[in-house]
Amino acid sequence: PGRLWVVATPIGNLEDLSGRAAQILRDIPLVAAEDTRHSAPLLARIGSRARTIALHEHNEREQAARLVESLLQGTDVALISDAGTPLVSDPGFRLVRAAREAGIAVSPVPGPCAAIAALSVAGLPSDRFVFEGFLAARASARRERLGALVAESRTLIFYESGHRIVDALKDMRDVFGAQREGVVARELTKIFETVIDAPLGELVDRVEADANQQRGEFVVLVAGASGEAADATLAEGRRVFALLCEEMS
Ligand code: SAM
């Protein structure tokens, strides 16, 4: 059978595509991409003439079955997403699982990942961390999730988009407290890269005051609850959560 290569691609700066990733994408006959039109320039840039097929959250189940067929028949397949590492807040989990279940070898071609890139420059404890991905779009669900994390002592990592960054930061401030340290890592590896670290109260003010700081792609990191702080934070979080629930009922 063929091999499934899970290939990380850049999160902004195209130079971040590794030599090995470029070589595999150039040599491979078939690329499964989250959005084939989005990936076309990257593939063209490295001279890849691979056939591309779309694999996204709406068709992953059917496409995974088809791709496993091709793999079983001996075709190598590379999986890429629009940016960064596939499966990290991106499609691919079902395909990888189906491939492994079929006994197909799955190899990583590691590279950029926004969460890890942000963690590597945030200056927050990095020995233990929790990746939370995207928070819910609905305010109530978002606050509920944050409430469940209030006593978490590991560094928290979230993904966020421009149109929700201010609301999300406000909820984090309200739930974790204005003094908790946070970091907003925006547009990493791109022209307007900025990394701001400040207590959550100040972080909200700074991002809200500057429309430019609300544009682009964001990773938000929040320091974990400190030992003694954890109990107090938990009590405060529960209090705020109760208030919010009351407000919404
Ligand atoms: N698979 C990707 C990875 O490995 O990071 C993540 C894909 S997810 C659909 C897209 C989100 O990742 C964005 O909304 C943003 O939160 C984060 N992200 C991606 N590129 C980024 C960048 N250059 N700077 C900051 N955050 C980024």
Q: What is the pLDDT of residues 15-46, one digit of tens each?
A: 999 999 999 999 999 999 999 999 999 999 99
* Nearest CA among 183, 224, 188, 164 for reference residue 114: 188
Ligand 1 atom closest to 134 (CA): 16
Cα of 134 vs its chain's centroid, Å: 7
What tokens does 33 get?
Answer: 């991409």
**Using one digit for the tens of pLDDT, what is the confidence trace for 12-21?**
999 999 999 9
Distance in Å, CA 219 to ligand 1 centroid: 7
List ligand 1's pocket residues with C-beta within 6 A.
11-12, 81, 83-85, 88-90, 113-115, 159-161, 185-190, 217-219
Cα separation of 149 and 171, whole Å? Answer: 12
Cα separation of 136 and 138, whole Å? Answer: 5
**Using one digit for the tens of pLDDT, what is the confidence trace for 94-139?**
999 999 999 999 999 999 999 999 999 999 999 999 999 999 999 9
Distance in Å, CA 114 to ligand 1 centroid: 5
CA-to-CA dists, residue 43 to 1, 67, 114, 135, angstroms: 24, 19, 21, 31
Asked if the interface predicted TM-score (ipTM) of this complex is over 0.90, the answer is yes
Burial 189-207 (b: 16+ CB within 10 A, else e): beeeebbebebbbebbeeb
Residue type, 231: D
